[in-house]
Amino acid sequence: MNHLNTKLTAYILGLLLFVEAGFLSLSLLVSLIYKEHDIKAFIISIIIALILGGGLVSYGKNYVKEMSKREGFLIVTSSWVIFSLIGSIPFMLSGSIPSFTNAFFETISGFTGCGASILNNIEELPHGILFWRSITQWIGGLGMVVFTIALLPLLKVTGAVTLYNTESPGLTKEKMTPDVTGTARRLWGIYITLTLILIGLLLLGPMNLFESICHSFTAMGTGGYSTKQASIAAFNSPYTEYILTIFCFIAGINFSLLYVLFHGRINKIFKDEEFRWYFYFVIGATVITTSALLIFNTYDNFEVAFRNALFQVVTIITTCGYATADYVTWGSYFCFISVLLMLIGGSAGSTSGAIKVVRIVVMIKNALNEFRKQLHPSALVPVKINKNVIANSYVVKTLAFIFVYLTVISMGIMVLCFSGSPMEEAIGSVVSCIGGVGPGLGRTGPAGNYDCLAPVAKWTLSLLMLIGRLELFTVLVLFTPNFWKDK
C-alpha cells in the first residue's frame, strides 16, 4: 500500500522554515542597522520559525528516502502557505499591518510574486519591514522549493524531479544539466547574478543602495513591490524606468534561454519560438498603446508616450506590476489590453505568472489546425513548437489548463461581485491576482490598492494568488478525495 510519506514531508518543510528564518535574519540585520522599532518583531518571528521548523525536522528525522508526486504536491503547496503564515508575523507584531487578514494578504502576495498590496503608507514603514516585503518576492520569484531541490542530495532523497516538476509545472521541462539538482543550482546562480547587476545599474540613477536592493529583488522576482507609495513614478527618472523595463523583460524569459545567453549563444534565443511570440506581444501592445496615447493627446511627446506605454506593457505581461502612470485613466482601450496581457503572462520557466506564452501559442496553433481540418478532414496536422511536434497529450493538457484557469477566474469574479465590488473592478482584481500581476482595475488599479475590498474578497484573492502561482493543478488536486486515499 502506498502511504503518504508524512515524515519526509515534515522534514523538508522544517528545512524550508530554517531557510525562511535565515531570510528573516537578513531583515533583522537591516532593522539593526537602521535602529528602528521592528527589531523585536523579527526576533520573535525568527524564534517561531526555528521552533516550528525544529519540531517538524525532529518529527520527520527517520523519513523514508523516497518521494512520490503526492508528497511533491503537498510539500510545494504547504510551503507557500506556511511561509506566508510565518512571514505575516513581522507585519503584525511591528504594527505595520495589525490586521491578520491584511498581513496574510500582503505576505502571500509577496511570496507568490503578485504585488497586490493593501498598504496606504509605504514610506512610513521601517526599513526592515520594507526589506522583508521586498525579499519575499525575490524568494518566491524563483521558488522556495527550487532552493530545497539543490540541497536534496545532502538528504539522499530520490525524487528531486518530482519537486522540480511540481514547483515549475510548464509545458516543457528543459534542463540545463542532466540532473535536476544541477539545474536548480544554475537557476539560482543566474538569478543572483542578474539581481546583482541590476542593483549596480539602479545605483547609477536616483535610487540609494537600499532602494536599489529592494527594487532589484522585486523586479527579478517579477513581483512589483516598491519602497514608494507611487511606485516607480516617485523617482521621476527615465533612466530608471528603462533599466527596470529591460530587466523585467529579461525576468519574463525562460531561464534555460538565459543560461544559453550567459554562454554567449545569443542567436539561439531568437530561434526559440516562445521568445519570438513573447517579443511580438510586447512590441505589438507597445505600438498600439503608444499610438493611442498620442492620438488621444494623453501625452504630446513621443518619447514620454513610448516610455510609459513600453513600461506598463512590459510590467503587466511579465506580471511584475510596477507603475509609472495610472493606466486606468488612459481609457477603456488600455484596460482591455491590460487584461489580455495579464492573461498571457511571460514565458514558461520564468518568474512570471499567468497562463504563459507557450500555452497561448499551443492554443492558437491548435485552433488554426481545426480550420485546416474543416477543409481536409483526413489530414494529420500536428501542433509544432520550434519545429518539434507537440504530443497530443500535451495539447489536451494545455487546453484543460486554460479551461480551468478561466473557470477559476469566473468563480473568483462572482465572489468579488457578491462581496460588493463593481464588475470592472472584480474582473481586474481577479485576473491580476491569479496571474500574479498586482494592480487591477478600478479602486485596485495603479493609483489605489486592495485595502478597500471586503475580507472575503481578500481571502478569495489570496487563494487565487496561490492557485495561480502553482499553476492550478498542484493546489486543486489537494481538494480531490483520491489524493488523500492510500493506494
Rounded CA separation 238/184 (Å): 35
Phi then psi dihedrals of residue 389, to 5 deg = -70, 130
Residue 172 pLDDT > 60, yes or no?
no
The pLDDT, as a whole number, for residue 296 is: 94
Q: How confident is residue 481, by pLDDT bands cut at 50, 70 and 90? A: confident
Report in angstroms the alpha-carbon separations of 412 from 341, 465, 477.
19, 11, 18
Q: What is the pTM of this model?
A: 0.93
The one-letter amino acid code at 53 reads G
Residue 374 pLDDT > 50, yes or no?
yes
Residues 6+ apart with CB under 8 A from 358: 170, 171, 172, 274, 347, 348, 385
Residue 243 pLDDT > 60, yes or no?
yes
Q: For strand 384-385 and strand 388-389, is the pairing parallel, antiparallel, or unpaired?
A: antiparallel
Neighbour tally for 381: CB within 10 Å: 14
Residue 154 pLDDT > 60, yes or no?
no
Residues 6+ apart with CB under 8 A from 19: 144, 147, 148
The pLDDT, as a whole number, for residue 259 is: 83
Q: Tell me the percentage of the chain whose pLDDT exceeds 70.
A: 91
Q: What is the mean pLDDT of residues 381-397?
A: 90
Residue 158 pLDDT > 90, yes or no?
no
Residue 351 pLDDT > 60, yes or no?
yes
pLDDT digits (tens, 9 = 90+) for 246-277: 999 999 998 888 888 877 777 788 889 999 99
Q: What is the mean pLDDT of residues 214-229?
A: 96
Cell of 72: 511533491
Name which residue leads in pLDDT, 83 or 256: 83
Rank 70-74, 79-83, 131-135, 156-160 by mean pLDDT and report only the highest: 131-135
Task: Give the total residue count for the chain.
Answer: 487
Q: How confident is residue 221, by pLDDT bands cut at 50, 70 and 90? A: very high
The pLDDT, as a whole number, for residue 169 is: 46
DSSP letter for each residue of 336-392: HHHHHHHHH-S-TTSS--SS-HHHHHHHHHHHHHHHHHHH-TT-----EETTEEPPH
Residue 379 pLDDT > 80, yes or no?
no
Helix, strand or coil, per DSSP, at residue 66? strand
Q: What is the mean pLDDT of residues 174-181?
A: 56
Q: How confident is residue 362, by pLDDT bands cut at 50, 70 and 90? A: very high
Rounded CA separation 475/462 (Å): 13
Residue 150 pLDDT > 80, yes or no?
no
pLDDT digits (tens, 9 = 90+) for 401-429: 999 999 999 999 999 999 999 999 999 99
Name which residue leads in pLDDT, 42 or 80: 42
The pLDDT, as a whole number, for residue 167 is: 52
Residue 98 pLDDT > 80, yes or no?
yes
pLDDT digits (tens, 9 = 90+) for 13-28: 998 899 999 999 999 9
The one-letter amino acid code at 241 reads E
Q: Which of 166-180, 189-203, 321-335 has the lowest mean pLDDT?
A: 166-180
Q: How confident is residue 164, by pLDDT bands cut at 50, 70 and 90? A: low
Q: Tell me the percentage of the chain whose pLDDT exceeds 90.
A: 69
What is the tally of helices (H) and strands (E) in the chain?
21, 2
Q: Which of 215-219, 299-303, 388-392, 444-448 has the lowest mean pLDDT?
A: 388-392
Residues 6+ apart with CB under 8 A from 411: none
Average pLDDT, the chain: 90
Residue corresponding to grid cell 501592445: 285
